[in-house]
């Protein structure tokens, strides 16, 4: 059965038209769900009983349930139970500019990046659009505050679950929905080229982040198996097409792994690869995990890498570290479960 929280506005409009109803009913349903946060359909007072009964027949209204919450200073980790018993996690981060949530897009992940915990559990299934929407709604309910930005950087590869992810973005971005501005939504991908091209045609002003992590194919092949299917030169061409099409600056994520990809020669090679592109590099201090042999670059080396890029006129920032105490940091989700 379809879930109401996974319906884009256009899909609901189509639904009402098919049922010989006015299309503005879709907006009314959105207002009840996302503005008034009504959870009982019988409270939808401007929608007549017959339609409410029809909606009840056609849609489920359940959301994933929070079964565990871990709170640290600026970060909280939430464990959700899905209706089939699977579990996923989301992370809330408190910044001085607002609250952001890192959502999971798949149960497990098949991308197999060597340094990432998430890939140790193979993909079991897609996270449905309503389950992504649910991660936001349920966290907002618990904290009694609104989320201002969303990053698709939890467990899973968003572009390996394209349709649900795009619907999720449309739903949270809708001004009558949760109304999170496109520029406050960031999708991070390991580089599935055909889907990057598809995304560029959507005409949504979201931020695209590419997990690059290596400046050449031989290293990237070792760290990220996806590189064998979509090698660096092809990926960079796709990034160029994306920028040309959307006129948006793209983020290049680069996790610094001690003695693996963090040397000056790597920084120079990276600068060369990115020269002239409308991108900025986000250096990610590696979060060490218990199971994997990689370690974090020393602070000094991070600084040297940063300075080298700067000298080469590359825009670069170092990502603030969140949540290592409660295993809520990038790549740490689920680590306690397996
Ligand atoms: N599959 C997507 C999004 C999920 S991961 C992607 O590959 O982009 C979000 C980011 O965290 C990615 O850049 C990923 O490579 C990085 N990451 C994974 N494990 C990490 C770790 N232990 N420490 C720091 N970053 C990590």
Q: Tell me the backbone φ, ψ of residue 189, rounded to 5 degrees.
A: -135, 150
Residues with CB under 6 A from ligand 1: 111, 113, 115-116, 153, 157, 188-190, 211, 253, 255, 284, 286-287, 289, 330-331
**Strands in 294-337 per DSSP E:** 316-318
Contacts of 244 (CB under 8 A, 6+ apart): none
Q: Same domain for 90 and 39?
A: no
Cα(132)–Cα(159) distance, rounded to whole angstroms?
14
| 111 CA closest ligand 1 atom index | 1
Give the helix ranges, DSSP H, for 111-225: 129-143, 162-173, 193-200, 217-223
334, pLDDT greater than 70? no
Largest CA distance in the chain: 68
Mean pLDDT of all residues in 187-210: 97
240 located within any domain: yes
Q: What is the pLDDT of residues 87-141, one digit of tens each?
A: 999 999 999 999 999 999 999 999 999 999 877 789 999 999 999 999 999 999 9
336 located within any domain: no
Instruction: Establish whether 89 is a catalytic residue.
Output: yes
pTM: 0.96
- DSSP letters for 208-226: EEEE---SSHHHHHHH-TH
Q: Same domain for 55 and 167?
A: no
196 located within any domain: yes
- Residue 322 pLDDT: 75
42 located within any domain: yes
Q: Same domain for 43 and 188?
A: no
Specify the DSSP class assigned to residue 160. Answer: G
37, pLDDT greater than 90? yes
- Determine contact, residues 135/64, Cβ cutoff 8 Å: yes
Q: Same domain for 153 and 38?
A: no
| 213 CA closest ligand 1 atom index | 15
325, pLDDT greater than 80? no
Number of domains in the chain: 2
Cα(193)–Cα(154) distance, rounded to whole angstroms?
20
Joined together, the tokens standing for residue 259 give 């003695």
R_g over Cα of the chain:
21
């Amino acid at each position: 059965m379809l879930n109401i929280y996974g319906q884009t506005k256009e899909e609901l409009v189509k639904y009402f038209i098919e049922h010989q109803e006015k299309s503005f009913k879709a907006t009314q349903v959105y207002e009840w769900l996302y503005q008034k946060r009504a959870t009982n359909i019988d409270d939808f007072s401007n929608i007549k009983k017959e339609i409410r009964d029809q909606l009840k027949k056609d849609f489920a209204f359940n959301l994933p349930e929070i079964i565990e919450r871990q709170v640290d200073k600026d970060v909280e980790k939430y464990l959700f139970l899905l209706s089939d018993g699977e579990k996923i996690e989301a992370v809330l981060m408190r910044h001085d500019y607002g609250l952001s949530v890192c959502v999971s897009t798949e149960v497990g992940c098949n991308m197999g990046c060597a340094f990432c915990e998430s890939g140790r559990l193979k993909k079991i299934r897609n996270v449905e659009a309503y389950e992504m929407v649910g991660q936001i709604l349920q966290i907002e309910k618990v904290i009694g505050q609104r989320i201002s930005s969303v990053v698709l950087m939890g467990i899973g590869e968003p572009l390996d679950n394209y349709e649900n992810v795009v619907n999720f973005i449309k739903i949270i971005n809708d001004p009558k929905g949760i109304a999170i501005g496109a520029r406050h939504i960031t999708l991070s991908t390991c580089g599935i080229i055909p889907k990057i091209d598809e995304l560029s045609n959507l005409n949504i002003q979201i931020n695209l982040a590419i997990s690059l992590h290596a400046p050449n194919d031989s290293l990237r092949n070792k760290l990220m198996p996806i590189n064998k299917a979509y090698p660096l030169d092809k990926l960079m061409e796709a990034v160029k097409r994306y920028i040309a099409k959307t006129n948006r600056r793209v983020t290049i994520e680069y996790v610094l792994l001690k003695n693996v990809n963090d040397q000056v020669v790597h920084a120079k090679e990276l600068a060369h690869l990115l020269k002239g592109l409308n991108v900025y590099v986000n250096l990610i201090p590696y979060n060490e995990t218990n199971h994997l042999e990689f370690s974090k670059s020393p602070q000094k080396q991070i600084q040297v890498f940063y300075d080298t890029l700067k000298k080469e006129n590359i825009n670069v920032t170092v990502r603030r570290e969140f949540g290592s105490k409660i295993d809520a940091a990038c790549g740490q989700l689920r680590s306690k479960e397996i």
